[in-house]
Amino acid sequence: MTNKIDRRKFLLAGSALGLTSGITENIKAKSTTVITGNIKPVVVSSYNGYTMKNGGKLNCVETAFKKITQGEDVLDALIAGVNIVELDPLDASVGYGGRPNAEGIVQLDSCCMHGPKKQAGGVGALEGVKTPSLVAKAVMESTDHHLITGKGAQNFAQNMGFKIEDDLNTEESRKMWLNWKRRIDPNHYLDPKKRSTAGHNAALEMIKEGLIPENEYYGTINCNGINSNGDLCGVTTTSGLAWKMPGRIGDSPILGAGLYVDGNHGAAGSTGRGEANLFGLCSYLVVEELRRGKHPKDAGMTALKRIKENTIELRLLNKRNLPNFNVNFYIIDKLGRYAGVAMYTKASNEDKNYAICTENGSKLVPVEPLLSGNAN
């Protein structure tokens, strides 16, 4: 005998299902297992993923989100997004026009990770290529290595068909480097401690005078994304610490530090003081916390607390005996939940916010700070 379904009962049943779906989502939110095809795509990045457009209509996170929702590979979409920032001469912390090292040469770092493929690639101290993220992807796809640096990275890039520029400085980046250079001993033959102090103090003076934003002293963009199938990827790219020692490589191209992606659990990337992040491989720590079921915000806070615990040198502490620098993490888990956390929310808008893009468009969202006040 065939049962007839009453339309009113069917609608009521549908309403009940809608109510229970919220409960189901809460259950899912506590689990690291999720059915594919049921995720809301999202892209998160540092603030410059929202502010920089390189003369175009779309910013980094909008570009990446559009490509993801059109069915493109998540990593390809994210790299297309950060390429906008790398090529924009107005962003002085990434790619073309990035802050040069102490000798006036722009050296770039980048790495990328593909969650579903379990693959990664990176480059460090790369000279002459405006888009190091694409070279990092080539390392991932065309070699058996995870990281190539210096002249070897440039040779590899040239062999792969990338154009090698003579100089990645813009007029503005060179002007600021010369300003910095004139403030310290021009011969650079100081006692190592005095030299380091002189260079750092000169940079702080320029920040206080408003010549450069504080966030551009450290630089970097991290961008992570997930599609409706739960495919997670990430990319980080930077010109590194402003006026760094030649050959210095920070956290950005190092797997587990500037970026870590586990396709089964989540993605995390960082900006801020690279050496502090490197010491604890904190992006890896964040993802391990996601593996244990932590919410992205809580996972990020664990990493920030670890950095705080590891910061004991007096030169790295402020008057409150707390870290005198900032570190930020941008995080997405397998469920599509996301967060942006920071050691502090400083005075500038850039430090207070991170970028997201969802089906509702892109916007800047306040980061969650571990500590009150600022780093001073």
Catalytic residues: 220
Whether 252 contacts 259, CB under 8 Å: yes
DSSP state of 210: T
| Exposure on the CB side of residue 256, measured as CA atoms within 13 A | 8
Site of tokens 């070897």: 152
Would you state the structure tokens that stand for residue 8, as one six-digit string? Answer: 């009113």
Please give the single-letter amino acid code of residue 232. L
Which segments of 189-311 are extended strands (E)? 221-226, 232-238, 259-262, 266-272
Structure tokens that stand for 28 in this block = 């899912």
Query: Of 5, 64, 368, 96, nearest to 233 (Cα)?
Result: 64
Q: Are strands 147-149 and 119-126 parallel, antiparallel or unpaired?
A: parallel
Torsion of CA 278, 267, 241, 149, to 10 degrees: 80
DSSP 281-324: THHHHHHHHHHTT--HHHHHHHHHHHHHHH---GGGB-TTSSBS
Distance CA 64, CA 225 (A): 8
Dihedral angle computed from the Cα positions of residues 195, 215, 301 and 224, in that order, rounded to the nearest 10 degrees: -120
Number of H helices, E strands in the chain: 13, 13
Indicate the burial class of 117 (C-beta count within 10 angstroms; 0-12, 13-18, 19 or more). Answer: middle
Task: Produce one character per residue of 5-37: b if its CB has 16 or more CB atoms within 10 Å, e if not.
Answer: eeeeeeeeeeeeeeeeeeeeeeeeeeebebeee
Query: Is 75:233 a contact under the CB 8 Å cutoff?
Result: yes
